[in-house]
Structure 1
Amino acid sequence: MKKIIELKNASVVVNNGFDEVKTILDDVSLTIYEQDFLTILGGNGAGKSTLFNVIAGTLMLTSGSIAIMGEDVTHLSAQKRAAHLSRVFQDPKMGTAPRMTVAENLLIAKFRGQKRGLVSRQLQEYKGEFQELLGKIGNGLDKHLDTPAGLLSGGQRQALSLLMATVKRPELLLLDEHTAALDPKTSQSLMQLTDNFVQTDQLTALMITHQMEDALKYGNRLLVMKDGKIVKDLNKDEKAQLSIADYYRIFD
């Protein structure tokens, strides 16, 4: 099975400014295989965001190594790793350019990693394709092709961020609590859309969630983190046998 991400003995140690050294990622080894959909649970300070930042390259390891598609990227910047990764953040404002239209945002995403200016002729050329893509989402985004992204609702903007992250198929999709800022109904709708994208396009994805129900329902692997360590790595059959009460007991 093809390895997409491989962390070996990955640790991050920081100084909090008061001469106190703290380990926020503690000797983590993890392999993510092609078409894995991993959900991550853990309390505040468990190391979930640190793990994401280490993979994305926005935080460097103190020790250990990380490989993407078999290539050692331990010392490569986030910009160098961006060709392989896409990320959807918790804040709907993070993934889109607010003054650009929905179509212009999608055009940028389509040519991510390529040196190419925004030319209006190109935009017209791809509008039909973008219209069709937006129609699959089913939340009215297809009526807003020429609307600035900043005028969209939070749910629409996050759906656009998800579409932008997947329009140019990434090796790994990082979902950083991407439904947390939305109301429950919109959150559920976006989660179903996410799962549809992952399954249909056979994506490899890693998702942080605080929703126990989502961790039970989605993905083929569940990671539980505590004190900078992965304390559980459950496959689909193992997690299917757990109830929400069992999940809470893991954190005791």
Structure 2
Amino acid sequence: MPTDLKPIIELRKATKIIENGNERKVILDDVSLAIYPHDFITILGGNGAGKSTLFNAISGTLELTSGTVLIDGIDVTKYSPEKRAAHISRVFQDPKMGTAPRMTVAENLAISALRGQKRTLKWRNIAKHKTEFASLAKQIGNGLETHLDTPTGNLSGGQRQALSLLMATIVAPKLLLLDEHTAALDPKTSVALMTLTENLVVRQKLTALMITHHMEDALKYGNRLIVMKAGKIEQDLTAGEKSQMKLEDFYRIFD
């Protein structure tokens, strides 16, 4: 891992324990992780490995039992998800979770463009941004640019997920969390969205974590690969180490 760079995001001994009566379950187990500028980290692991728990700990939607979360060296462990949202964007597996269904595509983009700013009613004046939004949407290649005035709830799943990705990156976040964002899409749409994802990450020089169950995507994308099991990070592979692996090596991870 880099020695001359400071982490953008860092977890130190992050632990989450759930207790229900006599049952005690550790869902995140003493996880330490440093995420550096321009890292594109793919994350693999079976069900219950702790992948989404890790994302929830970073975004603040899950309070840690113990441990620390830092952004640019500042302890944000007690910060609310809303306060962290100025720095962190997330695209969920369900296309319905990232957008407001009754608002138009342009309105959703306009709100996202205000991330990290004090919001006022001025965002409703979006006519002057239509050309910019159309150009942004056109890069997707699925016709979204022709639906700027369409309520988001009327879009296809693929269009809505692509919109979620644009919304998450219209203002470059310190960290982009991709929570199995292609899992609910058909194979063709999934490939198109991953191409868009890589283009955005590379062009905007973003820092990103991506949970995926697609072994091919874990092999193809990113400069690091993290393997999780039972709430722990089992492996943290560099690009060089990952390039030596084959698909069958990935499948053995789940044995």
Inter-partner Cα distance in structure 2 for 1:188 and 1:67: 33
**Following the alignment from structure 1 to structure 2, what is the Cα–Cα distance between the partners of residues 168 and 240?**
32
Kept in 1: contact 2:11–2:31 (CA 8 A): yes
Match of 1:212 in 2: 215
1:242 maps to amino acid: M
Determine the C-alpha separation between the residues in 2 that align with 1:116 and 1:88: 21
Using the alignment, how far apart are the partners of 1:14 and 1:160 within structure 2? Answer: 35
SS at match of 1:125: helix
Of 40, 50, 69, the match for 2:43: 40
Of 230, 234, 237, which aligns to 2:240? 237
**CA distance, structure 1, for counterparts of residue 200 and residue 133 of structure 2:** 16
Q: Distance in 2 between matches of 1:103 and 1:2?
A: 37
Q: Show CA shifts across 1:84-103 (max 9, x none).
A: 00000000000111111110
1:93 lines up with 2:106 in the alignment: no
TM-score normalized by the length of structure 1: 0.97
What residue number does 2:230 align with? Answer: 227
**Counterpart residue number, 2:107:** 104
Long gaps (5+) in structure 1? none
Moved over 3 A (4+): 117-121
Deviation at 1:113, TM superposition (A): 3.1
C-alpha distance in 1, partners of 2:219/2:74?
A: 32
Of residues 8, 11, 18, the one that matches 1:14 is 18
Matched, 1:113 2:119: no
- For these two proteins, the number of residue pairs brought into alignment is 251
What secondary structure sits across from 1:146 in the alignment?
Answer: coil
> C-alpha offsets along residues 199-252 of structure 1, whole Å, 9 cap, x if unaligned?
111000001001101000000000000010000000111111101111122232
Supply the RMSD in Å over aligned alpha carbons: 1.1
Deviation at 1:2, TM superposition (A): 3.4
Aligned residues with identical type, % of pairs: 68
Unpaired runs of 5+ in structure 2?
none
Q: What is the CA–CA distance in structure 2 between the aligned matches of 1:230 and 1:148, rounded to whole Å?
A: 41
Alignment partners' CA distance in 1, 2:27 and 2:236: 19
